[in-house]
Chains A and B, each alone.
Chain A
C-alpha cells in the first residue's frame, strides 16, 4: 500500500503564502503528501483549505512559496499546468455540463483529436475499464442532468481519472451525499489509493477524516497547525487543533415540560414555479419548549417547506395553524403577516434573503421589521435609532466587528448569521424557523448559535430547524423529521436516532424496509 518514506512525495508545498487584499488566506504553508496515501486536510470554514487547494490546482497563484510534484519543482499557472502534472480536482460544485452526456463531459478538454468520433471510442472503452476497476459504473450516454448527485460525483471522478490523475483533490465531497453514498465514495477512494494514486481530501467533518485517511493535516486561520498519522490521533485532538481550544462534549438536552401546541401543518403541499410538487402532504406539529429538526439531503423539499411556513411561498394545499389560529388557508397569507403573528425566520440562504448585502449592518438588523415604531420618526426611518438598535444586537449576540455602518457583505458568515439570529430572536417569536443555522459558520460561531437556539427552547418557545448537518440535527433536536423527495420519510425521537437510521431515511428508504 503506502510506499516507503524514501520515495519522493507526490506533492510537497514549501512556504506557500497567499493574500486576498486584507485577508491573509494562507501563511507560510508547508505540506508533504506521500504518494499512495489518502491525505486529509481539516479546518474550519475559512481556515484556508480551499484556497490552498485552488493554488495547487492552478486556479490561483501563490504570492510566495514553491510547489514540488514528485520531487520536481513545478510551476502551476493555470488548470492546464495542473492537469499536465496529473493533479485533478473534484470541486464542491461540480464542473459538469448538465446538458451534456457523461461521455461528452469526460471528453471535454481531452478529446483526442479535432473530430470527436475517434476519441469517443477510446473514452468509452476507458470508462468501462475504470468503472469496473474502481466500482464507478455510470452509463456513458446518460445526460448528466438526469443523474442523481452521487452518480454525478462519480462522473467527476471518472473525468479526473480519464485524464490520468495521479493526485486527486476532493473538496468537501460529502456535503451533498447521504451517509451511505459517502461510504461508497470512501470505498472508491481506498481503491484509488491501493492502485498507487494519491488522494487529498478536504473536509471539515472529522468522521470522514477518521474513516478514510492515512494522514491528516490541520489548518487554522490560514496556517498549517499540525500533521498527524490518522491512526495516532483522535477526533477530540483534531477538533481542538482545529479551533485552538478544548471542545465541550455534546450534552443531552435538558428536559422541558411539553408546552402548548404552537405550530401545526396538515397535508401541506408546495409547488415551485414550474408546477412541480416540492413538498407533498406534510404533517407536523410543534410544541413550546421543543426543537424539531428536519433532516434530509439538500434539495428534498426542506427549503420549500420552511419558506411556506414562513409565509414566503403560498402552499398549494393543506392547512397551517399558528398557536391555534388558522393562518392558511385564510384571506391574507404573507411573511409580514406571519411575522406579526409570532413567526421568526432565519432563512436558509442568508445571502439571498437574510440580509442586505450591499447595505450596512444597521439596515440588515431591522430587515423585515422596518415598520417598527422603535426606529420610525415621523414616517421616516431614523438612522440614529437603527444604528443604536444594531449596536445593541451586536453587543448581545457578540457580532464582530460591532460596527453598524459596515456593509453586511463584509462580515464573516458566522457574524452575519449571529446578526440575523439576533434580529429574529430579539422579538421573542413563538415559533422560530431556522434554515441551515450554521452553514458557512466557523466552529466558535456554531457553538454560540446553538446556545441561542437552546435558550429559545428553554424560554418555552418552539424552534423548527432545517439542517443538512446530521451532527447538528442530532445535537439539538427533541424530535427529528426526515424528508426525502418532498415527503416526510419518518419521525424519530432524539433518543432513538443515530446516523445510520437517519441516513437510510434520507436516502428514501422507509423504516419498515430498513428493518
Chain B
C-alpha cells in the first residue's frame, strides 16, 4: 500500500502541477473563442507572461510584481490581437501566429539585452517565486496513514496558482452559463448580429473576451516561470499553448470537460517525465516522445471518432461586419 502510494503520489501531484498552465491557458482560449475570436496566440502570450514575470521578479524580488508584470505584458499582446481582429477585422489565425512569432523573438532578445545570460533571466530566489503552500492541519493529519499523506502532498503542497486555476473552472462555468455577461459573450461568438440588433456592442464583448484570455495567459506564463520554474528560459512554454488549444477543443468549449482533458494531458506529461530513461526489456530506452505526442494524437483521434463532433462557437473566427 505505502509502496504503491510512493509511486502514485508523486505522479498525481506532478499531474496537478503540469495540468495547471494548460488549464489556465485553455480557459483563456475558452473565453476568447466563446466571444468569437480564435486564439492561436495562447503560446505567445504565455511566453511573454513568463518572461515578464521572471524579469520583474528577478529585478524587484517580489513574486506578486512578477505576476502583475506577466498579466500586463500578456494584455499588451492581447490588445494587439484584438485591435487586428476586431477593429481592423483581420485574420484571427494570422494575427495569432504573428503574436507567437513576435513573442518568441522579443523575449529572447530582451532577455539577452537586459540580463546578458544567453537569453535567460537570473535564477529566482525563494521570495521571488510562488512556493508550495502547506495545508492547515497537515501535521495533525500526518499520523493517519494514507489520508495524511494525500492531504499533505496532493490536496496541500501546491502553489497558490494551482488552487486559483482549479477555482477558475466552476467560476468560468458560472459566468458563462448564469450571468448576463456570459450570455452576451456566448451570443457574440454564435451570432454577433443578434447581439448588435439587441442593442449590445459586439466590439466591446469581443474585446472583453480577448482581455480575459490575456489575463489568464499571463497568469499561466507567470506560473511556468515563477512557480514551476525558477526563471525564464528561451521558448520555455514549449508548445503548452498549442496543447491547451487542443485541450479546449477536446473539452468541447466547456469548462468542466476542459478540466478533465487538462488533467489527462497533465498525467501524460507526468508519466513521460517519470518514464524518462527507463529501459524496457527488448525495446531499449522508453520512447518518451511517443507520450509527448499523445495529446495531439488523442485530440485528433477522439475528435474524429469517439466523441462525436465538437461544435465550436458558430461565428468564431469570423470578423463581425454589418451587412446590407
B-contacting residues of A (Cβ < 8 Å)? 20, 50-51, 54, 57, 59, 78-80, 82-84, 89, 91, 95-100, 104-105, 107-111, 113-117, 119
Contact = CB atoms under 8 A, between A and B. Distances in A.
Contacts of A117: 178
A115 B191 contact: no
Interface of B: 178-181, 183-184, 186-187, 190-191, 193-200, 311, 314, 322, 324
A57 B171 CA distance: 37
Contact of A99 (B178, B200, B314): B314
Contacts of B311: 99
B178 A115 contact: yes
A95 B194 contact: yes
B197 A95 contact: yes
Nearest to A81: B199
A79 B199 contact: yes
A111 B190 CA distance: 18
Contacts of B199: 78-80, 82-84, 109
A377 to B, nearest CB: 39
A238 B184 CA distance: 43
A116 B198 contact: no
Given A99-B314, A104-B183, A116-B180, A109 B198 contact: yes
26 contacts: A51-B324, A57-B197, A59-B322, A78-B199, A79-B198, A79-B199, A82-B199, A91-B197, A95-B191, A96-B191, A97-B194, A98-B314, A99-B314, A100-B186, A107-B183, A108-B198, A108-B200, A109-B184, A109-B198, A109-B200, A111-B183, A115-B178, A115-B179, A115-B180, A116-B180, A119-B180
Q: Choose among A20, A50, A98 the residue with the greatest number of B CB atoms under 10 Å from its CB.
A: A98
B191 A111 contact: no
A79 B197 CA distance: 5
A104 to B, nearest CB: 6
Contacts of A110: 198
A57 B198 CA distance: 11
Nearest to B177: A116
Contacts of B322: 59
Given A59-B322, A98-B190, A100-B190, A108 B195 contact: yes
A176 B144 CA distance: 70
Contact of A108 (B178, B183, B314, B324): B183
B180 A114 contact: yes
B308 to A, nearest CB: 12
Contacts of B186: 97, 100
A158 to B, nearest CB: 13
Nearest to A112: B180
**Closest 7 pairs between A and B when the two form their complex, measured CB to CB:** A109-B198, A80-B199, A95-B194, A111-B180, A97-B190, A97-B191, A79-B199
Given A115-B178, A116-B178, A116-B180, A99 B198 contact: no
B197 A89 contact: yes
B250 to A, nearest CB: 19
Nearest to A110: B198
Given A114-B179, A116-B183, A117-B178, A95 B198 contact: yes
Contacts of B195: 108-109
Contacts of B187: 97, 100, 108
Nearest to B200: A109
A83 B196 CA distance: 11
A110 B183 CA distance: 11
A110 B180 CA distance: 9
A108 B185 CA distance: 10
Contacts of B183: 104, 107-108, 111, 116
Contacts of A107: 183
From A84, A107, A116, name the one whose CB has the most chain B CB atoms within 10 angstroms: A116
B92 to A, nearest CB: 20
A485 to B, nearest CB: 24
A116 B180 CA distance: 6
A309 B181 CA distance: 49
Contacts of B196: 79
Given A79-B197, A89-B197, A109-B195, A116 B179 contact: yes
Contacts of B191: 95-98
B65 to A, nearest CB: 32
Central interface residue in A20, A95, A108, A115, by most chain B CB within 10 Å:
A108
A117 B180 CA distance: 10
B310 to A, nearest CB: 13
A31 to B, nearest CB: 20
A109 B201 CA distance: 10
Contacts of A116: 178-180, 183
